[in-house]
A and B are shown apart, each in its own frame.
Chain A
């Protein structure tokens, strides 16, 4: 669960003195969008993103509107001139949950991971988080997802798990999400089997509702 288990350790970095074009080329070469900017002793000085670079460079369409001196000035821009100087960072001992909430709140696609001494030890990006969640969901193993509607009360989950276990079926994962606002929960067991017809009938006979797939949602219905 800790960031140091999921982060990318071999971070591609850049120095503040480097030119913007060097930063741009580095991002393209490694197919990344964030470069932590470090000092000679590997202390984090900032972060530069592909977006920072795009905002700083004139677009090809407007290049002719700038006078030559201005263009030269832009060509001499350094990473340190456009980077974020106080980037949001996270510690290796923060958790994946911390990273998810922080990335969502700060609208960042990547966070540099910095230890107590200020040294850059890694970077955690949306791709790292996605990879972790593919693993958690278990969806790279063969299986079948069900969606069971259950009352939000103690013991319902046990009934579901017991019923499935009695059929000799193993779980790849099990997710629980709020469903509507009537005190109900949608339970999503990912079952490592092809053979779900029997267990579906059994759950229905126990009084559970199996939700129609068009009603499935893992998301909160928030205004966006």
Chain B
């Protein structure tokens, strides 16, 4: 059995988005319940979040965005940059905790205290760009973790796998020209889904050309296409790239029962993907996987999906 960290902090519930918003605190409560009821908590190393230091946020985001976000919360505004991004007075602090919590998990994996970790954070991050909050995201947790790995731990090759049903435009843009970060994303085709990026021809730029791999999937498709893309796209790419650490943007909204997309992924396929990722981490990264929650809006499905996710990280479920 592996030593798996589980980041969960009640303060992640304090980012309030209003009654109609799909990115709700109820998502995290459902996830926690699923893991608790499956009896997994005693097998996990439970972690609380520490606020991220501003320098780690600034390694990715502009001071303008950070200040704008902080101000908006202080003034009691209810949106940032776009009506999608609902905020409450605690949202800025919550976002700092989310990013800081992920950094804490990465640190413990790098120190060898943990093999891997799942970070059940809110708000999510992968749409957030250098200077813009987007698609329910404010600070790009995974990008911040990757920069931290580069700057603090000198990691030369970071693999990011993003299986949220929406393309991680923010993460892609941040590492577009960076050959030391390989970004793979599988998502619903951008002509049918937010945010409208992540086409096959987006492959990175300059020295980073070739270190971005996008796999758009058409509405109505599912397991078959995901498995094909993993086997023929991601696996060979990582075989060449050999990431020292794998970061996962774990969105669960491609599930057939999630009404945020028209992708029909089964519960089993989520498990299959995670086993591939853990397998690759064992092969190339000394088992180091830090998985970070992005989307996933089906309150009914989140408990089982994240329970399976964690069981696979523990190495306990075949």
Contacts and interface: CB of A to CB of B under 8 A. Distances in A.
A145 interface: yes
A141 B260 CA distance: 19
Contacts of A169: 83
B196 A139 contact: yes
Contact of A213 (B22, B166, B169, B218): B218
A143 B219 contact: no
Contacts of A141: 196
Determine the interface band of chain B, counting residues with CB < 8 A from chain A: 20 to 34
A130 interface: no
Contact of A195 (B84, B192, B193): B84
Contacts of B8: none
Contact of B22 (A142, A144, A170, A197): A197
Contacts of B218: 213
B37 interface: no
Contacts, number: 59
B220 A197 contact: no
Closest 3 CB pairs of A and B: A142-B195, A194-B135, A213-B219
A194 B219 contact: no
Contact of B83 (A140, A144, A193): A193
A169 B134 CA distance: 14
B127 interface: yes
B194 A143 contact: yes
A197 B297 contact: yes
A214 interface: yes
Interface string A140-182: 1111110000000000000000000000111000000000000
A53 interface: no
A192 B82 contact: yes
Contacts of B20: 198
Contacts of A219: none
Nearest to A141: B196
B262 interface: yes
A212 interface: yes
Interface residue SS majority, chain B: loop
Interface residue SS majority, chain A: loop
B21 interface: yes
Given A142-B134, A192-B82, A213-B220, A197 B260 contact: yes
B191 interface: yes
Contacts of A192: 82
A214 B219 contact: yes
Nearest to A200: B259
Given A194-B195, A197-B297, A198-B22, 9 more contacts: A139-B191, A142-B134, A144-B192, A193-B84, A194-B194, A200-B259, A212-B219, A213-B219, A214-B220
A213 B194 contact: no
Interface in B126-177: 127, 134-136, 166, 169
A2 B267 CA distance: 53
B89 interface: no
A190 to B, nearest CB: 8
Nearest to B192: A213
Contact of B21 (A145, A170, A195): A195
Nearest to A143: B196
Interface string B219-232: 11000000000000
B180 interface: no
30 contacts: A139-B196, A141-B196, A142-B127, A142-B134, A142-B135, A142-B169, A142-B195, A142-B196, A143-B196, A144-B193, A145-B191, A168-B83, A193-B84, A193-B194, A194-B127, A194-B134, A194-B136, A194-B166, A194-B195, A195-B21, A195-B22, A195-B84, A197-B260, A197-B297, A198-B20, A198-B22, A200-B259, A213-B218, A213-B219, A214-B220
Given A142-B134, A212-B220, A197 B259 contact: yes
Nearest to A138: B196
Interface in B1-48: 20-22
